[in-house]
Structure 1
Amino acid sequence: MLRLDGVTVRFGARVAVDAVSLDVADHEIVCVLGPSGSGKSTLLRAVAGLQPVDAGRVLLDGADQAGVPVHRRGLGLMFQDHQLFPQRDVGGNVAFGLRMRGVSRKEQAARVAELLDLVGLPGAERRAVAALSGGEQQRVALARALAPSPRLLMLDEPLGQLDRGLRERLVVELRHLFGRLGTTVLAVTHDQGEAFALADRVVVMRDGRIAQSGTPLEVWRRPASEFVARFLGFDNVVEATVSGEAADTVWGKVPVPAGSPQGGRQVLVRPAGVRLGDPADGLRCTVEARTFRGHHVAVRLRPDAGPPLEAECALRDAPDEGAVVGVTFTSDEVVVLS
């Protein structure tokens, strides 16, 4: 349904999007993830027609969109600040795109009522926008974007202004809603949790290029590079020499999965693969800090040699700060990076 073919966008001498090629299938939810300045929002604007493309092509259903204005691309757009019309009530906001298309008042009313019910705001047509909470405004903006039945819905940090608890609830609702409607979605966000909960496929960008693309499970389980691993919050990355099913590192021998790439590499050890035990066994470390993370405790360790390590364990098993422990590693939580 959407194909980007070598799309490049420049701002003077700076290349914001660098020869990006990407396909999005019908009914697929794709989240583009990356730090600030990675080019993800510029990529979204290029697809929408809000940003001219310096090279490459944007194709929708096989048709090149060069020269096609925003309002003729059949897209739904939703931005972080929602951009609702304060002078219009909820119904007036949701019906805006329908009015622009000349839909009759009766059909507008029916579609608005249907969508407000879908997004959890039944009967809210006459409510003032200013009287809505942030989460309610987000729902109205979503209903407005969906009203004209766009062939592609585009979201730019749609939940960025909401508190974490509300974001976590809404992202589950959004995935369920898009599944019911069969909506094709291209979203950009810097929030890993939001992307992994919403997407069928995650695309990680760095410096205007795609660093990795795959299902949430594939990207989480097997980051393609040190950049992707660290962006996802994994800091236990060291240089290594891999031989067979072991890696020689500054932390000593670390077991690696069978079939891992051999030779000079980098090794990622996820915190769940760092096991704490008796100081006489394994790598000797001192506990520097403990951080409560809800369902587990993150433990920062200082080895006698090498960079710090992060482990995670249950609250009841967390050692005290200043304690000395022995560390061993489990191969199923180790990734040899390419």
Structure 2
Amino acid sequence: MTLLQLEGVSVRFGERADACALDRVDLAVAEHEIVCVLGPSGSGKSTLLRVVAGLQGVSAGRVLLGGADQAAVPVHRRGVGLMFQDHQLFPHRDVGGNVAFGLRMRGGGRGSKQAYEARVAELLELVGLPGARRRAVASLSGGEQQRVALARALAPSPRLLMLDEPLGQLDRGLRERLVVELRGLFSGLGTTVLAVTHDQGEAFALADRVVVMRDGRIAQAGSPLEVWERPASEFVARFLGFENVATAVVAGGAAVTPWGKVAVPDGSPEGERKVLIRPAGVVLSPEGLGCEVVSRTFRGTHVALRLRPEAGPVLEAECGLAGAPSVGDRVAVGFAPAEVVVLPGE
């Protein structure tokens, strides 16, 4: 069942053509679904969250929650939780006081003091901070503050939880650990989540569905696997970090590219197209396109190479740790058809 529905939502700041922060956005989020919105700065990600929360009015279109139009519903009546990148904790309150604030704002925590404190303790246990109720906010690490902010957002049991760059201020190692915990927590609770992030790895680890935005519009939406394996355009491919994209002519199961003739998967669209070759598909071989290794980077499980070919733009490649070539070496490469994607048009 659909919980959140955006129908043709536009947000304009002024009359200029480039002043459209959201441009006719249609988006549906199902109950218990985790949706992550990705995109570069200025693509409209945070504006979308603000519109759903009621913090930003729309120029056109409708926002529906549970099938009800939210146009006349104030922020505090929408039943959504919003957690920001900087956590916005109250330094004068202890951990328990910050979590309790979430209950008070939505009318939660009514009843006995014991029941009230039990709910706070339950939430802190849920986010991995048992016994932290009396701790000062200033004594917490960044990861602990993130957990307190999450407990506060979950306190009133929102029907929709929205996260705006929730892990953006944390170091990468901590982000990677917490995103796994969040995924498990939300799945266990059945929480419906709409999150914004600029970090592809974070989104792909957390989401059931990924939405990529560009210039106020949705460029692609799909499961993490769908978006990764089948980018909808050159923009999406490059945003995901793929650089081996070139114009090609596709016909008869092959693409004529600047790097030569490359086999493409069966059923690929034909004609003049953009073709993506993933780094894993650029394979070192005894013969093929001659290249010079211009850089190599150790990635833990493999070595990432940048190759200057005899023809065409620089290629990114991956190879195993054993026998990886050095900078300045001459190598030959072929292309694995399974790692070639013929991209749709923009």
Partner AA of 2:288 in structure 1: G
| Aligned position for 2:125 | 117
Residue of structure 2 aligned with 1:77, choices 77, 82, 89? 82
| Aligned position for 2:342 | 336
Instruction: Report the Cα distance in structure 1 between the residues aligned to 2:323 and 2:174, rounded to whole angstroms.
Output: 31
Partner AA of 2:339 in structure 1: E
- Residue 245 of structure 1: how far off its partner (Å): 1.3
**Is 1:168–2:170 an aligned residue pair?**
no
| Aligned position for 2:56 | 51
| Aligned position for 1:96 | 101
Aligned pairs for 1:16-55 (under 5 A) are 16-55=21-60
Instruction: Report the Cα distance in structure 2 between the residues aligned to 1:294 and 1:174, rounded to whole angstroms.
Output: 25
After TM superposition, the score normalised by the length of structure 1 is 0.98
SS at match of 1:321: coil
Superposition RMSD on alpha carbons, in Å? 0.8
Partner AA of 1:140 in structure 2: V
Q: Given that residues 6 and 55 in structure 1 are in contact (C-alpha distance below 8 angstroms), is that contact kept between their aligned partners in structure 2?
A: yes
- Identical pairs, percent: 78
Cα deviation code 1:272-324 (max 9, x no counterpart): 0000123xx11111110101222211100001111000001122231011111
| Aligned position for 2:270 | 262
| Aligned position for 2:322 | 316
| Aligned position for 1:295 | 301
| Aligned position for 2:11 | 9
Residue of structure 1 aligned with 2:195, choices 182, 187, 201? 187
Q: Given that residues 271 and 310 in structure 1 are in contact (C-alpha distance below 8 angstroms), is that contact kept between their aligned partners in structure 2?
A: yes
Aligned pairs for 1:99-178 (under 5 A) are 99-100=104-105, 101=107, 103-104=110-111, 105-178=113-186
Cα deviation code 1:88-146 (max 9, x no counterpart): 00001001121231523333211111110011000110000010000000000000000
Q: Which runs of 5+ in 2 are unaligned?
A: none
Q: Which segment is superposed worse, 286-295 or 77-86?
A: 286-295
- Residue 69 of structure 1: how far off its partner (Å): 1.0
Q: Which segment is superposed worse, 326-335 or 292-301?
A: 292-301
Partner AA of 2:297 in structure 1: T
After TM superposition, the score normalised by the length of structure 2 is 0.96
SS at match of 2:138: helix
SS at match of 1:44: helix
Runs of 4+ in 1 over 3 A off after TM superposition: none
Instruction: Report the Cα distance in structure 2 between the residues aligned to 1:226 and 1:140, rounded to whole angstroms.
Output: 40
Instruction: Report the Cα distance in structure 2 between the residues aligned to 1:106 and 1:156, rounded to whole angstroms.
Output: 33
SS at match of 1:282: strand
Partner AA of 1:109 in structure 2: E
Instruction: Report the Cα distance in structure 2 between the residues aligned to 1:165 and 1:317, rounded to whole angstroms.
Output: 29
Q: Which segment is superposed worse, 143-152 or 314-323?
A: 314-323
Partner AA of 1:323 in structure 2: D
Q: Which segment is superposed worse, 301-310 or 95-104?
A: 95-104
Q: Given that residues 244 and 258 in structure 1 are in contact (C-alpha distance below 8 angstroms), is that contact kept between their aligned partners in structure 2?
A: no
**Is 1:86–2:91 an aligned residue pair?**
yes
